[in-house]
Structure 1
Amino acid sequence: MRTYSWLETISLTERLADLIKVSFMPTAVIAVLRGGAFPALVIAHRLGVRTMYAVQVTTTRTEEVRSARRPPTVQATSEWHVSGEKLLVVDDVVNTGQTLRSVLHEINRRGRPARVATACIAWDSVSANDSAVQTGCPSDYHADRVEAWVRFPWEAPQS
């Protein structure tokens, strides 16, 4: 397991914002709840983006390490105005890319954005079934690559 401190998380999120602004300037940021809320807020401020949306996506059955997966459930928390916008979807960690694909599907269901990019603090490159290391990150931008389950400081400790 890879556990990040608050200082590491802030530093990686700032690095992620710097990576993004080199090649993409979004007009709106979409936070994937729950884990993407903090990095999305920091990135929006660093990039000067005032419009933010949120989406709740659940793909695991429990909070346990390497929890069994289930088909994603997607619930947008507000009305999104996506047509013609340059959107940045932010989550804390990406593994299979299933969550990001679910959000992209929801975006396309709601309109035709000018461009959509995805970002995460960490890419857990171990496949969901622990059998192999993935060779390509499902996210357009990531600040760290790990081969372990990730725990961020806002998460409740496992008992």
Structure 2
Amino acid sequence: MAETTTDERERLTWDDFGVATRDISRAIVADGFHPEVVVAIARGGLLPGGAIAYGLGVKNCGALNVEFYTGIGTVLDAPEVLPPALDLSYLAGRRVLLVDDVADSGRTLDLAVKLLNAQGAEARSAVIYTKPTTIITPDYAWKDTSLWIDFPWSFQGSVHEEDAA
């Protein structure tokens, strides 16, 4: 399972990531849900969404760009959908799996689920982590934690941040 570092952060390794997305894929299959489309919430859900799509054998994938967290502990007043826009009308009447990395406050996931349901999609959600502060319970989750999470794709920050140091 994921390591906890000395500064009280949850650290997901690449190996843990493989286990987590495979476990989530198995849980979805065991539940009898057969998504026709996997929609990842960008940016955090892009890698989990792709891995889960592979695990489920789903080739039809898309991304919904939503911004809420602007840094560690800093958020916008409300989540915002950003361009480029996903063709939500295509999802009407389809079984859609919405994937993100974490349901922290849950506000991003809640917004995305409501958007898909408003289009007539049969939407279910999957995340690697849930936190006790989330306002929405994802249909599928790998682990609960109250710690800040270092994901292998984001904990180092951007190379622009390296250049500024």
> What TM-score do you get using the length of structure 1 for normalisation?
0.84
Structure 1: state its 5+ residue gaps.
128-133
Q: 1:38 and 1:5 mapped to 2: Cα distance? A: 13
Q: Is the contact between residue 35 and residue 91 of structure 1 (CA under 8 Å) also seen in structure 2?
A: yes
1:79 aligns with 2:104: no
Q: 1:142 and 1:154 mapped to 2: Cα distance? A: 19
Q: Secondary structure at the match of 2:74?
A: coil
Q: 2:112 and 2:58 mapped to 1: Cα distance? A: 19
Q: Secondary structure at the match of 1:49?
A: coil
Query: Residues 136-147 of structure 1: matches in 2 within 5 Å?
Result: 138-147=137-146
Q: 2:75 and 2:86 mapped to 1: Cα distance? A: 29
Q: Which is higher, the Rg of structure 1 or of structure 2?
A: 2
Query: Residues 7-86 of structure 1: matches in 2 within 5 Å?
Result: 7-23=15-31, 24-60=33-69, 62-64=70-72, 66-75=73-82, 77-80=85-88, 81-86=90-95
> What TM-score do you get using the length of structure 2 for normalisation?
0.81
Aligned-CA RMSD value? 1.9
Q: Call closer, same or farther: CA 1:69–1:78 in 2, change over 3 Å.
A: closer
Alpha-carbon displacement from aligned partner over 1:47-90 (angstroms, at most 9, x marks no partner): 11111110111112x222x2244211013543241111000000
Runs of 4+ in 1 over 3 A off after TM superposition: none
Give the superposition deviation at 1:151: 1.4
Counterpart for residue 122 of structure 1: 129
1:112 aligns with 2:111: no
Q: 1:53 and 1:7 mapped to 2: Cα distance? A: 25
Q: Structure 1 counterpart of 2:38, which letter?
A: V
Q: Structure 2 counterpart of 1:6, which letter?
A: W
Q: Aligned pairs, how many?
A: 147
Q: 1:9 and 1:137 mapped to 2: Cα distance? A: 22
Which structure is richer in relative contact order (CA contacts within 8 A, separation 6 or more)? 1
Q: Tell me the percent identity.
A: 27
